[in-house]
Structures are given as C-alpha cells and as structure tokens.
Structure 1
Amino acid sequence: MRSFVRYAAASLVAGAVLAVVVGAISDGTRAVWPMVALAYAAQLVAFG
C-alpha cells in the first residue's frame, strides 16, 4: 500500500510539473506559483 502511495504522489508531482510548463506557456506566470506549491507539497508527502 505504501508503495502505491509513493507512486501516486510521484505521478502527481509529474503531472504538476507538466501543468506548470503548460500553464507558463499559455497563461504567463500567474498560474505557475500555485502549481509549484502543489508539486512541492506532493513531493514532501511522497519522500518526506
């Protein structure tokens, strides 16, 4: 079960990074910071 949680969190981090890239391309910088915060929080949950 724990490995599944790590996999899910890693997937969330990857998705957040992708969303940051897409958001930065389409919206400029205003949508980037919430996604960076989300990715950081997910990383803490996964590996902290």
Structure 2
Amino acid sequence: MKHPGALHRELGVAQGDKIPEKKLEKAAHSDNPKLAKRARLANTLESFHQ
C-alpha cells in the first residue's frame, strides 16, 4: 500500500470505521480514476479477509 488510509480520507470516513458498502460501490464507479481504482482494490482485498 503506497498511501494507507487514502480511500478513507477521500470518502470522509474516519480511519477506524468500516466504509459502507454503498459508498464503496459508488466510489468504484467514480469519474476520478484514482478513487475508482482504490475502491476496486478495497473490494478485492475485502474478499481476502475472512
């Protein structure tokens, strides 16, 4: 991770809180390519943590 916490900061979610699924899904389809890429990565990494 080059910039840990960047997605939390961009979405305005506190660092310790979980990002809501709807907010993450909306970010994955954002016009901002960097935000969309971070959101898709978060979705991918979420499946590893079980």
Normalised-by-shorter TM-score class: 0.3 to 0.5
TM-score, normalised relative to structure 1: 0.40
Structure with higher RCO (Cα < 8 A, 6+ apart): 1
Bigger Rg, which one: 1
Q: What TM-score does the superposition give when structure 2 sets the normalisation length? A: 0.39
Greater helix fraction, Structure 1 or Structure 2: 1
